[in-house]
Amino acid sequence: MADHIYVKLKAFCLQHIGCKFNKVGFYLMSIGLRIPGTYPTYFGFKRRFFCSEYVATALRECELLPQNASKVMHPQELYELIAPISSISSLKQYGHDEINYDI
């Protein structure tokens, strides 16, 4: 990953610390409705995300996904979209003590 993309991705993550879970969007996706977690911003609250929505939005902001890619997508959809650009390495290759999540 290029340094400038990493900087954008880290900035996106830091800007959204404390955002709550987009329950409405998550549950309505099961019946085919895609409601982004931007609705709370109309009432002065922070944006909300569910897992794949957060990742898709972050990747779009960093220009790793096309701007026309949906921000609200099912986890399987996101997986299929990023599989070609994802690394084949996994956490299974590392010992538990070797993993560091410090920002």
Task: State the DSSP string of 22-60.
Answer: -HHHHHHHTTT----TTGGGGGTPPP-B-HHHHHHHHHH
What pTM did the predictor assign?
0.75
3-state secondary structure of 89: coil
Check pLDDT > 70 for residue 102: no
Average pLDDT over residues 79-85: 83
Check pLDDT > 60 for residue 20: yes
Residue boundaries of the structural domains of the chain: 3-98
Q: Which residue has the higher pLDDT, 97 or 70?
A: 70
Q: What is the pLDDT of residues 37-53, one digit of tens each?
A: 999 999 999 999 999 99
* Residue 50 structure tokens: 């569910």
Rounded Cα gap, residues 36 and 70, in angstroms: 10
Q: Which residue has the higher pLDDT, 41 or 96?
A: 41
Note the pLDDT of residue 56: 92
